[in-house]
Amino acid sequence: MEAIAIIPAYNEEKTIGSVLEVLEKVSLIKKIIVVSDGSTDNTVEVARNYNVEVIELEENRGKGGALKAGLENLTADVVLFLDADLIGLTVEHVHNLLLPVMYNGVDMTIGIFEKGRIATDLAQKITPQLSGQRALKFSLLEQISDIDVARFGVEVALNRFMELSGTKVQEVILNDMSHVMKEEKLGVWKGMAARMKMYWEIVKYLTRVNTLR
């Protein structure tokens, strides 16, 4: 079986290189795609130093829109989604996300940070369903028609589909891994505003799908 990796990135010049360096070492992955979601820094330039395909979106579409763009005209057995701001990613982490889906009958894995940093560990213990580190079968992903509409609620859209379809999901502990929080990237107030925007997108998505029931 073969996998592709899609990395949505918005202004992640400081961390995306270390993520791509690890992914290049994973032989299970046949293609790595970076989707720059309207980045205004050097994210694209950094990504092009690696053996990856880069898609540049002129306007920010949100995570769901970026993932949708990365998936267009592609086929694979398994798709790996990783955030571009990860700290401490290893080949073992990637294998632990991919192998259960590729060979052990699991439909989707969700990565949960542990023993990384207190703030990110706590956030994922409270809301593990919002983790952006996932691997899932491409055949299932094709059935989710509104992944781009979900914008920053894309993880919720994936969870909802899996619940309704009764597919098998496995949580995977990602030891010693973390990510850069919005408040660290943007400053406290702008970071909090960005976090509130993300939560609002999630609420809007859930309201929309509940209305359509």
**Where exactly are the structural domains of the chain?**
3-180
Contacts 24+ apart (CB under 8 A), 195-199: 197/152, 198/152
Contact 34, 52 (CB under 8 A): yes
Structure tokens at 192: 């909090």
Phi, psi of 12 (to 5 degrees): -120, 40
Q: Are 147 and 70 contacting, i.e. CB atoms less than 8 angstroms apart? A: no
Residues 81-135: pLDDT tens digits?
999 999 999 999 999 999 999 999 999 999 988 865 555 545 555 455 667 899 9
What are the backbone dihedrals phi and psi of residue 165, each rounded to the nearest 5 degrees, phi first? Answer: -90, -10
Structurally, what CATH architecture does the domain formed by 3-180 represent?
Answer: Alpha-Beta Complex (3.90)
pLDDT, one tens digit per residue, over 154-208 is 777 777 778 777 789 999 999 988 877 655 565 555 655 655 666 556 555 446 5
Angle of the 62-71 helix axis to the 154-165 helix axis, nearest 10: 70
pLDDT of residue 29: 96
The 3-state DSSP composition of the chain as helix, strand, coil percent (nearest 5) reads 45, 20, 35
Cα angle 114-66-23, degrees, rounded to a multiple of 5? 50
Q: What is the distance between the alpha carbons of residues 161 and 27, in angstroms, rounded to a whole number?
A: 29
CA distance 66 to 41: 17
pTM of the model: 0.78
- Give pLDDT, residue 182: 54
Q: What is the DSSP letter of 84?
A: T
- In angstroms, the Cα distances linking 114 to 9, 19, 171, 175 are 23, 18, 12, 5
SS3 160: helix
Task: Tell which residue, 17, 18, 22, has the closest CA to residue 45.
Answer: 17
